[in-house]
Amino acid sequence: MKLVCRCDAGLPPLDAVGGPYVLGSARLGCGPDESPPADSPRQMITAPLLGSAHAVAQEVWLTDEACRAGEFAGIRFRRNAHVLFGVLEIDEQAFADGPSGQPLQQAAAEAYRRIFRLLDAEGLPQLWRAWNYLADINQVTNGLERYRQFNIGRHDAFLAVNRAAVGNVPAACAIGLRRGALSIAFLAGRTPAQPLENPRQISAYHYPVDYGPRSPTFSRALLVALPGQESLFISGTASIVGHRTVHVGDIGGQCREALNNIAAVVGEANRLSSGVAYSPAELSYRVYLRQADDFPIARAVLDDAVGKAGGIVFVEADICRSDLLVEIEATAVHSLPIA
């Protein structure tokens, strides 16, 4: 079984790639009125690309075993015997402000409860990776930042279905867009993954309450074993040491610190993986920048550290702490010798 992610800038005939081997996709830089395809889950990310000759980029998850499509509680998904990719959008306006929390908190809780119900029903219960996008992530309503509202809902959902909210939790990112419903894409499978933490950082699920009443529910990275293959999913990574933001106001410093953190996580991957070592130069990166003006410096730092060859997509979007200017996520796939 193989799982690969193909990223193409521009408008390639990716629907031509289509067919049974597509698990799902993400489209970055699309307009708010574009619709996803009917037969395949696709996360529509309306954040502008930066420094790209093309308006949109598309990441397609492909496998070498035929997939089938399904729909469950508003979740569009495709799966084969080993993996499942799904996309869910929930409009928080469907929830009333009330004792069970503000609308975004309720939407997040409902979204994750549905995801867990789907995964249990499909017999692919391990949530490996989640991509979370929400509007106005740093906006404060009724005294609480929206990212923190999201964290309460997400955390509650894990506990509601008796899932651990520490330790074996998915790799993730949580990113702010200008508008739109809460959008969650996810990759799940049959077997538990190996979670990785970063020795330079406190685990996010142990952040002190200064960062919100409920800690964020994600691992710094996950190693996922599939037959003949191992994948490394590195969560959104920022300029945080311990639990504190460092290099406030300094985009170059934040980019270098985020890359130091990624290097530390890669070190952990290499300590715990039994396969061939990972290197930062081989990773595929998604770089979120709060300010488009920061692109030239971010590009230069990334090129310097990673090399130009690797796939790097730069996106203008908000980060979950208002003092963070950049967040970087990364992925790699290794073939393993078949035992």
Q: Decide if residue 177 touches ligand 3EB (CB under 6 A).
A: no
Write each residue from 113 to 142 as x if it is in contact with ligand 3EB (CB under 6 A), else as -, in one continuous string: -------------------x----------
Which CB, 218 or 285, lies closer to ligand 3EB? 218
Min separation Cβ 172 and ligand 3EB, Å: 4
Bridge partners (DSSP) of residue 226 are 229
Q: Decide if residue 222 touches ligand 3EB (CB under 6 A).
A: no
Which CB, 221 or 226, lies closer to ligand 3EB? 221
Q: Decide if residue 169 touches ligand 3EB (CB under 6 A).
A: no
Selected range binding ligand 3EB among 64-72, 233-241, 295-303, 310-318, rule: CB under 6 A: 233-241
Which CB, 56 or 324, lies closer to ligand 3EB? 324
Distance CA 267, CA 12 (A): 35
Min separation Cβ 202 and ligand 3EB, Å: 9
Q: Decide if residue 235 touches ligand 3EB (CB under 6 A).
A: yes
Min separation Cβ 206 and ligand 3EB, Å: 11
Distance CA 269, CA 4 (A): 19
- DSSP H helices, 77-194, are 103-122, 146-160
Kindly report the number of other CB atoms within 10 A of residue 62's CB atom: 17
Site for ligand 3EB in 67-86 (CB under 6 A): none
Distance CA 284, CA 286 (A): 7
Q: Binding ligand 3EB by CB under 6 A: which of 264, 320, 326, 332?
A: 320
Amino acid, res. 158: F
Tokens of 185: 């894409």
- 145 given a catalytic annotation: no
Min separation Cβ 218 and ligand 3EB, Å: 4
Q: Decide if residue 218 touches ligand 3EB (CB under 6 A).
A: yes
Distance CA 334, CA 230 (A): 5
Which CB, 45 or 67, lies closer to ligand 3EB? 45
List, as one string, the DSSP characters of 244-281: EE-STT-HHHHHHHHHHHHHHHHHHHHHH-SSSPP-GG
In sequence order, what E strands does the chain have? Answer: 3-9, 22-28, 42-45, 57-63, 68-72, 75-79, 83-90, 126-135, 140-141, 144-145, 171-177, 182-189, 194-196, 221-226, 229-237, 240-241, 244-245, 284-289, 312-316, 326-335
Tell me which residue has its CB nearest to ligand 3EB.
236
Q: Binding ligand 3EB by CB under 6 A: which of 173, 193, 289, 325?
A: 173
Q: Binding ligand 3EB by CB under 6 A: which of 236, 266, 269, 312?
A: 236
112 to 163, 210, 231, 242, 298: CA distances (angstroms): 11, 24, 23, 28, 33
Residues known to be catalytic: 327
Q: Using CB under 6 A as the criterion, which residues of the chain lie in contact with ligand 3EB when the complex forms?
A: 132, 172-174, 204, 216, 218, 235-236, 238, 240, 320, 327
